[in-house]
Amino acid sequence: MNNSNYEVLFGRLGADPELKYTRKQEPVCYFSIAENKEGMEKPVWHKIAVWGKQGEDCKLHLKKGLPVFVRGQKIQKEFEGKDGIKTYQELRADQVGVTLNTGQIL
């Protein structure tokens, strides 16, 4: 993996993941996470794609609001957000995990 396109993100799911299948019946799961960056008023949103069995597992286990981390490669892709702003990057995740640190004292 090219290090310049490689990212690790931490955030919360903005909605339940959506599972789709390609024409060749390959599963791909899509979801967005909101990353809170220090000093920024609003969270930064990232669109995530997870392929294969791991994508199917994401659909089963991830839910809106859950804190997660993702690791993967940035892919240039054009899509239009709900706010009408065009975005050009998607993270193709090769690892997805649930974080245990929710910022709350147990």
Q: For 2-49, what is each residue's pLDDT tens digit? A: 556 789 999 999 999 999 999 999 999 999 999 988 898 999 999 999
**Mean pLDDT of all residues belonging to the chain:** 86
The secondary structure of 47-70, three-state, reads EEEEEHHHHHHHHHHCCCCCEEEE
- The two three-digit tokens of residue 97, written as one number: 């995990």
Distances (CA, A) of 54 to 17, 49, 75: 12, 10, 18
pLDDT at 103: 55
Domains of the chain with CATH codes: 3-98 (2.40.50.140)
- The two three-digit tokens of residue 80, written as one number: 């239009």
pLDDT at 82: 76
Provide φ and ψ at 32, rounded to 5°. Answer: -120, 145
Q: Find, among 97, 96, 95, 92, the residue nearest to 26 by Cα.
A: 92
Mean pLDDT score, 64-91: 82
Residue 24 CA, distance from chain mean position: 23
